[in-house]
Amino acid sequence: MITTKAKFVLLGLATIASLAITIYVLFSINERALSVSKEWIASPIENRPDYGDEEMEQIASAISNDLTYDNINAFVASTHAYYNQTTGFGEISKLNHTDQTDKAIELVSVINTYSKEENDKLNQDLQDIKFIALHYIEHGTTRDVQKLHRYFHDLDIGLNGYGAYDKVWGVTAVLGNGEKTR
């Protein structure tokens, strides 16, 4: 018969052995993960250029202006639908940054075309969107994509009467505090 003291000693040894095995497994998994991840993850760019406002403006104006929409309303509606599809209902947590970068480049291009012919408030919103899109192209932050979606959401309500979801984010000059302008 095993005494109570011996049971506690055996239980302690079993606990220590279990803990040692757990630690070994965790570290060996981590080592394998690190060795595998080095093969398929690109190293960060060390000497990434830091673009100033003038350089960003040159990049923006050099982008092709061949994307056409019937009018600014069609551009806003189409872009809002794109952001609903790619960021709405939790999709923002799984962004495809290549697609989002392509869209940001398209935004800059289209805004270069439309911004000169629109009213002051809409032009202000377009310039804000262009700035956010350029920031996204350079930095690739999810927050920028969220801001772009909110701008196009509010513009779609203000310009097109979009009514599927009537929350107003209050980020545009066109819509202001939620009043529709048509």
147 vs 144: CA distance, rounded Å? 5
Give the phi and the psi of residue 124 in degrees, each rounded to 5.
-60, -45
Q: Is residue 182 part of a domain?
A: no
For residues 52 and 5, which has the higher predicted lDDT (pLDDT)? 5
For residues 20 and 36, which has the higher predicted lDDT (pLDDT)? 20
59 lies in the same domain as 95: yes
Q: Is residue 104 part of a domain?
A: yes
Residue range 36-60: average pLDDT?
Answer: 56
Give the phi and the psi of residue 43 in degrees, each rounded to 5.
-75, 150
Confidence category of residue 118, pLDDT binned at 50, 70, 90: low
128 vs 133: CA distance, rounded Å? 9
125 vs 122: CA distance, rounded Å? 5
Model pTM score = 0.61
Least confident of 39-48, 96-105, 158-167: 39-48
User: What 8-state DSSP symbol labels residue 165?
Assistant: S
134 lies in the same domain as 58: yes
Tally of domains within the chain: 2
Q: Is residue 12 part of a domain?
A: yes
pLDDT tens-digit readout, 122-143: 889 999 999 999 999 999 899 9
Give residue 177's pLDDT: 57
Q: What percent of the chain has pLDDT over 70?
A: 70
Tracing tokens 């673009």 back to the chain, one arrives at: 51
Give the structural domain span for 19: 1-41
